[in-house]
Amino acid sequence: MHPLVDAPALERLLRRDPPPILLDVRWHLAGPPGAESYRKGHLPGAVFVDLDRDLAGPPGPAGRHPLPEPEAFEAAMRRAGVSGAAQVIVYDDADSTAAARLWWTLRYFGHEQVRVLDGGYHGWVEGGREVTTDVPAPAPGDFVARPGRLPVLDAAGAAALAGDGVLLDARAAERYRGENEPVDPVAGHIPGAVNAPTSGNVGVDGRFLPPELLRERFAKLGATDALDVGAYCGSGVTAAHEILALTIAGVPAALYVGSWSNWVADPSNPVATGEN
Q: Which residues are catalytic?
A: 233
Q: Give the Cβ contact number of residue 235 at 10 Å.
A: 23
Helices (H) and strands (E) in the chain, counts: 11, 10
Buried/exposed code over 129-155 (b: 16+ C-beta within 10 A; e: otherwise): eeeeeeeeebeebebebebeebebbeb
Whole-angstrom Cα distance, residue 64 to residue 66? Answer: 6
Whole-angstrom Cα distance, residue 120 to residue 5? Answer: 10
> Is residue 15 a contact partner of residue 3, using CB atoms and an 8 Å limit?
no
> Is residue 97 a contact partner of residue 241, using CB atoms and an 8 Å limit?
yes
Q: Give the Cβ contact number of residue 247 at 10 Å.
A: 21
- Its sign, for the CA torsion 206, 237, 140, 74, is positive
Strand pairing partners for 230?
Answer: 167, 254
